[in-house]
Every structure is written in C-alpha cells, then in structure tokens.
Structure 1
Amino acid sequence: MDGVPECHLNCPHDHQRPYKQGSHGDGREELFNNSNQATSPTEHQSDLAFMEDCSNWDIVKATQYGIIDRCKELIEAGYDVRQPDKENVTLLHWAAINNRIDLVKYYVSKGAIVDQLGGDLNSTPLHWATRQGHLSMVVLLMKYGADPSLVDREGFTCLHLAVQFQHMPIVAYLVAKGQDVDAPDMNGQTALMMAASRIIGPEPTGFLVKLNASVNAVDKVHRNTPLHWAVMSGNVAALSVLLDAGANVELVNAMGETPLGLAQQNRNLWILRYLLDASIQRNRSHFVVKVLKIFEKYKLLLLFLMAVAVIWVTGYIADMESDSWLLKGILFVSAWLVIQLVIRRFITMQTYSYFPLAFLSASLFWMVITWFVRYLPDMPDSRFQIPFALSITGCIYYFYKTWTVGPGYLQVSEQEKNRTVVALAETDCLDPRAFCTRCLIRKPLRSKHCVVCDCCVVKYDHHCLWTARCIGALNHRYFVSFLFFLFTVVVWMGYGTVVYWSIHCSTSYEKDGLWIFLTEIISCSPWIIWIFLLVVFHSSWVTFLLLNQLYQIFCLGLTTSERVTLIKCARNGRHGGLQQNPFNLGCFRNMVDFFQCRCFGLFKPNQTDWTRQYNVGFEQPRTSEFQFV
C-alpha cells in the first residue's frame, strides 16, 4: 500500500445548492431549494430556464451557483476578486461554503487571499468549508496555504469546528496534517473538552481519544478536565469513554471540585455509578489491588475454574440424597449469593465478555468427566469410545486454533495511518465505506470494525461470544471445524444419556406415561439431568450456528456480516440483495476456496490476500454497485 493507496471506490461528492446571501458560515445557512424535495416536470423546466438566464447575475450569485463562465466574465471586466460584498464576505467564502472547487482554483489564481476574514463571525473560507463538512474544499484550501489554526470571532479553530459539527474525516485530516489535537481555543478548551461538553454520545470523544488527545488536560478559565465537562453536560457515553482511557477522577478544578463532587450536585445516577466504581477501583487496598492484578493476569483460568465450581455445586446440590427441597433451595440461594459477591468484588466490565467461553469450557469438562465416569461402564465397546475421543480431541484442537491464530486484525503504525488519511483525503475518498474512523486505517474489501475488540478484522464474519474471539479470514475455517466437532460431542452425550436412562431407570415412557417417566429419571440421577440440560442448551445454539455457517459458505459464498448487510439493503430497496453477490462461485468452488482444499494437487483454490484487496476486480465477477460496509 506504501501509505498512498489508489482509491477504487465510487466516492460520493457533495454537490449542494447555493447558500443564501447573508449567511456567514455559522451553521445556520438555508438553501434556496431543498435538494431532497421532489420536483414536477414543470418546476424542473422552470429551474432550467432560471439557470440559463444568468447573463445579468451579479458575481456573488454566480459564485453561489457555480456559474464559472459568468464569474470569469465579471472578473475579466475588472471586478476585484478580493473585494468583499456589503456583508464583508468575499467571493472565496461563497465558493468555499458551496464547495465550488473550480471557482476556488480560479479565484486563487486571480489573487484571492486564502485566509481573508469575513462574515459576522470573522471567519476564513477554511472555517466556512469546515463547518459544512466539505473535505475536498478543506484539502484544496490547505494546499493553497490556508491556516487551520486561525480562530474566528467565537475563538474556534478549524479543528474545534470540525468536532463541533462532527465531521470526523476533516478532524482526521487536520490532525494527520500536523494540527495539535490538544490545541486550545480562545477559552482554553481543547477539542476533547468540546466533544465531552457539547456532543451527547461516544463520538467524537472516542475518535479524539484514538488520536491521542489528552484526557487530563485542563482549560484556562475553570481548570476543568474533559471529565468535568462530561459530568456537567450529563454525557454518560463520553464519560465512559474517558474513564476507559484512564481519565483521573480525582483532579480538582478552580473551585476545588472533583468530577464526583459535580456529579453529586447534578444527581445523575448513571454518572454517579460510573464515577463511584472508578473511584473505588482507584482507592482499593493494596491487597485487593494485588488480587485484581493476579486475577487479570490469569482471568481465563480463574473464570474457567469458577465456572467448573458453579456447575459442580449446582449438580451436587441437586444430587444430594436429602429429600428436603427446602434445604436444597436454601443451598441454591446461598451459592447464588456467594457467586454474586465474587462477581461484584473481582469481576470488571471487560471480563464479562469471557463468561460464555468459561461456561462452555466448564460444560465440556463435566461432559467428558460424566462420559468416562457414568457412561463408560455401560458402553465399553470401542465403537463408542473411539468416536467420542476423536470428537472431543477435534473440538479442543480446533478451538485452540481458532483462539491462537486470530481472525486477522488490521494494525498499522501511526505514521502509516497519517499517510493513509492524507492520501485518501486528497483523492476525495476519506469516506466511512473506505476508511475506519475508529482505527484510522483504510478498510480492505470485506473487512469491518469489531466494536467488542475495537479493531478492524479482515473478512469479518462476526464476534463469537462462545470463543470470545472475532471470526475472520485467518480463523474462519478453524471455527467451522470447531462447531462441527462440538456438534458431534453433544450428539454423543445425548446418546449416552439415553443409554444410561434405559439401563439405570426402571421406568419407560411407553409403560408409565410422561409424568411418571420424568419424575423417575429425575430421581434416578439429578446429576445426569443437569448434564443433559447443558447438552440440550449447547446443542441448540451449535446446531443453528453450524447449519447457518455451512449455508452461507457453500451456497452463498458470504460471511455473516455481509449476508446481514445485503438483507438490510434489500429490505430498504437499495439493490437486489443476496442475488447481487460477486463472491458466490458455486457450492463446490466456494467449499474449495474456503477450506483451501488441494487434494494432492487436484484442486487449485483461490488465494486472495484480503488485507490488501480494495476492489472487486479479482477473478470474481465484477459489479459496480455492490459494496460491503
């Protein structure tokens, strides 16, 4: 890629109608006509006649509509390109706010001042273009020497304006071109403080944190940190982002108030909860901190052991010889309270994502133990034992491969990120379809940003809760193999359970009916019932997931994310949905390519490097409309 990739996407361009005279780039401009409003043929003909009759227009109106011939005629006749109109707005301002690229080039060639101030807000043309989100205009003006660090009458630089109006591509471009992400405005506020105080939601706070904005900077007037501003504005999402980024909850402002003190005054329960948890984590005793560090280091092992203990305690209580259900109920409640105490004391929010993995691993552990302790004496024949041993071995091996190989995370250096941002912006392709605003990288075809892993994944399929891993180009086939062997394990466990009941329970459904049959098998061995419930639960999701994966891979040639995207697009009427798919090469070819089957050289699967594939022009049929996001 060399940091300067060629853009293969059909990037959208913003061709807007002109802004009315009297608007000064303050975000309140109105259009002469609503571009989204449907027009009748008569109205369209009137518009054409109106546009054709421009020989008497003044230069401001011609600039707003982008009538370059009329503008050139007036300039050649002696109109001074630097002359502002009666509202102190120059031609370059009007061209910039309406995204008239050719007119800006022409006016600059005729001596227009790139950083000339104008309008009520005393802004530059670059300010006006930034407010409206015209990235191509921002790039052009900066090529001509426009200074993005200049402030308008409100004290805002272009970076502050881009954040305020949430134009993230412009933010990325300005920072990549060397603008200080922590540069203060006239009031000493950084862009991160503005995002935390004015914009409800995690964006652009999270975006600025990705750009290494300081989470503990203070403003010049009130000495507030971004955390203070988030608390005062009630911005729970931004506050969560700042705390995850390591914001200090104990810093005080000029009034001696901490963020927690401000939250207590505002009485926002969610913010209070976040800040209290962060404060408790910071002020815990040395012993608890050491325990937490050990737990974090060995969290997977400890979670697995905890899940093993929970499953065993549940089955042990149910399998007790006591006939008192009251006693068993008290023991169940006591065990549940102990588990909740451990979770609240030692489990962090980030660790919750590993609970399904720990539960699945512990379930498999007790299934294997039950097989060899309870089922083996009843099925000593090797025709039962060898297939089960192969199934559990394959399950463990392919889970290990799924976990260790990884999905294929896209990671680049900071220098390459900046080069990519600049290159895409200057080719007018810094668009969410081609650029990830979270990772600040160019997205290859079929990749997607995983919100759980907070990273872009090559040929993203989905984030699997049961493996606590993303499924992508590198580990997808291992994941499907893991599902297959897990399916065979639960099938064998179900078969073993039926055999156990037929031998050890003196009742049957045909002889005694459903109710007596159920009560007898429960009293026969509550532990077996407990294991059977685990088998039923895991067999339900693994069967659905396996069949769904096989259908998508063999019949569609798609990932889960792509299939969902196409279904949504079809429902919205944007294109033909699953029928419009350039990756489906037929069932057999899809299988060969997915599993990379060679069969001693009989097959030659396609080997596509999805980390560097940016268009659909590679052996598959090409379609200009198809685009996965």
Structure 2
Amino acid sequence: VAGGDEGSDSDDGDWDIGVVCQEPQQLDQMWQADRNEALKKALFRGDVSLIEELLNSGISIETSFQFGWTPLMCAASVANFAVVRLLLDRGANACFEIDKYTALMASCTAQASEENILNTVELLLSRNADPNLTCRKQMTALMYAARKGYPRVVAFLVAHGSHINAQDENGYTALIWAAQHGHKSVILKLLELGADKNLQTKDEKTAAELAKINKHLEIFSLLSLAANHLQGRYHKAVEQEAICKFLTAVSDHSVGAYSAFHDMEVFLHGLGLEHIKGLLKERDIALRQLLAMQKDDLIQIGITNPGDQRKLLDAIIDLQVEEIKFEDISEIMKLEL
C-alpha cells in the first residue's frame, strides 16, 4: 500500500513541478498564440462579435499572421465587407501592404460575389487606399480585377483614378489580362472606358492576339473589329457586341453552308434592328450595300429613326476602320485558333 501511495505522491509532484516551471513570458506567448489563432479563424468565418471581443481583450489590430498578413488582409482577401469595416473603424491601415501586395489587391482577387468585392473595394478606396500601387510584378488592383473577370469592380476602379492602360513587368494591361482569360464583359467595359487595344506585351502580343492564342474566338473577333477612333471617350458597347454576335453566328456554320446563311438577319439581330428587316428586304438591299451607306443613304431608303441610324452607322464605321470587308469575314473565322 505504501508503494502505491508513494507512486501517487510522485505523480502529483511531477504535475505540480511542471506548472511551476512555466515562465510567465512563456505563458504569455502561449496565450497570445491561442488568441491569434482564434482571431484568424474568426476573420475567415466572418464572426464580427468574436473579432470585437478579441480586439477588446487587447490583441493588436495589426497582428501579424503567416506571411506577414494582418487581420485586414485576411478579411479583404475574402471580401467580407462587415469585417473590413470593423477593422478600419478600429484603426487598421487601408494602405497596408506586405511585399508590395495590398489589401485592395487582395480584395480584387477574392473568391466571393462581385457585389461583396465591389463593396469592399469601395470601402477601402473611401479610406484612401491607392488604386495605382503595384505589386512586385508591377500589377495594379485593376489588372487583378480584370484577370478575375469583375466588370463592375473594373469600372469602379477606373472611375476612382486607376490608370486604365498601365502595364505590368511583362507589358500586360488590364485589357490584355481580360483577353487572355476570356472575360468578354470586362473587355467591353474597358473598351467603353477608353482602354487601348493596340498596346503590346513585351513579347509583342496584342490583346486580340492573346485571345486568339487562348482560343477565345468571340473576344478575338470583338477586339479585331473594335474601332480605334471611339477609344478614349464613352460610347455604347452594343455595336461591338452586335458584330461579335454576328461573327460568332458565322463561325457556327461550315463554309459550304455559308452562302445559304442569311447574313442580313444575323447582323440586324445583333444590333437589335430586326424591325427594319422587312424594309431592307422590300428594297432588295444586300448587307454589302448597307455597309457602304452613309446617313443620307439610310434616310433615302426609309431608315429615318435617329437611333436606328446611329446603331447602323457606328457598326459600319467599326468595320471600315479596320478595313475588314464583309466578304472577308468568313475567311477570318477560318483562322486556326
């Protein structure tokens, strides 16, 4: 029995000694590490009340996690608007960057709804985040948003001073990034806002060429036909999109079947002008003839609505600027992508 008691006393003694041997500094470090881990989990869960509780307990708003990320970087990377707002209100630095990667860039690459990303971006910009800062690869927040395919975010960044034609270390612009990844809505928005489609990468590739290389047929067609003279000022994207639809429809038919394909109907449908089809058919006007007309010609054949005239004339100019004749379009679409 004595032996058993002795063993029991020995166990208790070891446990007591273990506790006593913990230095106060070590205990503080353990406690801090636990709180940091709890904060990190709360950030990614979006647990606002727990985050507030942890901040109130004394944990720093600029606590550094793995790779030097702060709570704001973590919240921005998942575009959690409520958490980002809380952290900014508690003093987080909206311009924080780690290795030249900013919270604004992190929000533009978030895997979240575009609505959440847009709200987060708007909030960061309202707290003086700089949209033109570049990462180590010279990419801006606009380029990240274009690469991910967020047209509303792209428009908002440009409206708030982001340089639309800035180029990264490889010469890529926001437009080129969008073309490479096949984001048509972003491309239409960038063209509308004045992006230069003729800028080249360091490998001397344009946005259209990279779209072709990456097999984005519709985007290649769109960029090939975009009118240079319209860039740099606001214009409706519908005409370019109409031509894009027309080319795609042509590409869906074999060359043999092309002669029987009703090109005029496709063209008018793309422009939303189906209602003038009967008028043109009645006057036996072919698409080649229509594409050579000017305003007076349109009036003469009975197209008197100013809106209809504008749509047609803009589409005609888009084709003429690039010197692409209608009879060549089917050949363009046969290019190997």
Q: Give the alignment's TM-score, normalised by structure 1.
A: 0.32
Name the CA shift for 1:233/1:79 in 2 (closer, same or farther; >3 Å): same
Distance 1:114 1:106 in 2: 12
Task: Specify the alignment match of 2:126 in structure 1.
Answer: 176
Amino acid at match of 1:139: R
2:223 is the counterpart of 1:275: yes
Q: Equivalences for 1:179-578 in 2 at 5 Å?
A: 179-199=129-149, 202-219=151-168, 221-279=169-227, 281=229, 332-334=283-285, 338-342=289-293, 354-355=307-308
SS across alignment from 1:262: helix
Distance 1:180 1:137 in 2: 20
SS across alignment from 1:128: helix
Q: What are the Cα deviations for residues 121-141 of structure 1, in whole angstroms up to 9, with x where unaligned? A: 442111222233332221221
Distance 1:256 1:117 in 2: 41
Instruction: Give 1:250 deviation, angstroms.
Output: 1.9
Task: Specify the alignment match of 2:86 in structure 1.
Answer: 140
Instruction: Give 1:226 deviation, angstroms.
Output: 0.7
Distance 1:99 1:195 in 2: 22
Instruction: Give 1:164 deviation, angstroms.
Output: 1.5
Task: Specify the alignment match of 2:39 in structure 1.
Answer: 92
Instruction: Give 1:336 deviation, angstroms.
Output: 6.5
Please say which structure displays the higher CA radius of gyration: 1
8 Å CA contact 1:196, 1:238 repeated in 2: yes
SS across alignment from 2:91: coil
Distance 1:185 1:335 in 2: 53
Task: Specify the alignment match of 1:159 in structure 2.
Answer: 104
Amino acid at match of 1:104: I
- Decide which structure has greater helix share: 2
Instruction: Give 1:98 deviation, angstroms.
Output: 3.3
Task: Specify the alignment match of 2:65 in structure 1.
Answer: 118
Question: What stretches of structure 2 of length at least 5 have no aligned partner?
Answer: 1-26, 232-274, 299-304, 312-337
Amino acid at match of 1:278: A
Name the CA shift for 1:114/1:82 in 2 (closer, same or farther; >3 Å): farther
Task: Specify the alignment match of 1:301 in structure 2.
Answer: none
Question: What stretches of structure 1 of length at least 5 have no aligned partner?
Answer: 1-77, 284-309, 318-328, 359-629
8 Å CA contact 2:72, 2:92 repeated in 1: yes
Q: What are the Cα deviations for residues 216-267 of structure 1, in whole angstroms up to 9, with x where unaligned? A: 0111x21211111111112111111111111112222222322233334334
Name the CA shift for 1:81/1:245 in 2 (closer, same or farther; >3 Å): farther
Distance 1:136 1:92 in 2: 15
Name the CA shift for 1:332/1:353 in 2 (closer, same or farther; >3 Å): closer
Amino acid at match of 1:186: R
Higher mean C-alpha deviation, range 134-143 or range 271-280: 271-280
Q: What are the Cα deviations for residues 442-486 of structure 1, in whole angstroms up to 9, with x where unaligned? A: xxxxxxxxxxxxxxxxxxxxxxxxxxxxxxxxxxxxxxxxxxxxx
Amino acid at match of 2:307: Y
Aligned length in residues = 229
Distance 2:41 2:310 in 1: 58
RMSD: 3.9
Distance 1:187 1:282 in 2: 31
Identity of aligned residues (%): 23
Amino acid at match of 1:171: V
8 Å CA contact 2:179, 2:187 repeated in 1: yes
Q: What are the Cα deviations for residues 165-198 of structure 1, in whole angstroms up to 9, with x where unaligned? A: 2421111100111111222223221111112112
Amino acid at match of 2:107: A
SS across alignment from 1:342: coil
Instruction: Give 1:204 deviation, angstroms.
Output: 2.7
Distance 1:110 1:80 in 2: 15
8 Å CA contact 1:82, 1:111 repeated in 2: no
Task: Specify the alignment match of 2:302 in structure 1.
Answer: none
Q: Equivalences for 1:54-73 in 2 at 5 Å?
A: none
Q: 2:76 aligns with which of 130, 135, 145?
A: 130
Distance 2:225 2:218 in 1: 11
Amino acid at match of 1:195: A
Instruction: Give 1:93 deviation, angstroms.
Output: 2.5
Amino acid at match of 1:150: F
SS across alignment from 1:84: helix
Task: Specify the alignment match of 2:11 in structure 1.
Answer: none
Q: Equivalences for 1:16-27 in 2 at 5 Å?
A: none
Q: Give the alignment's TM-score, normalised by structure 2.
A: 0.56
Distance 1:340 1:194 in 2: 39
SS across alignment from 2:226: helix
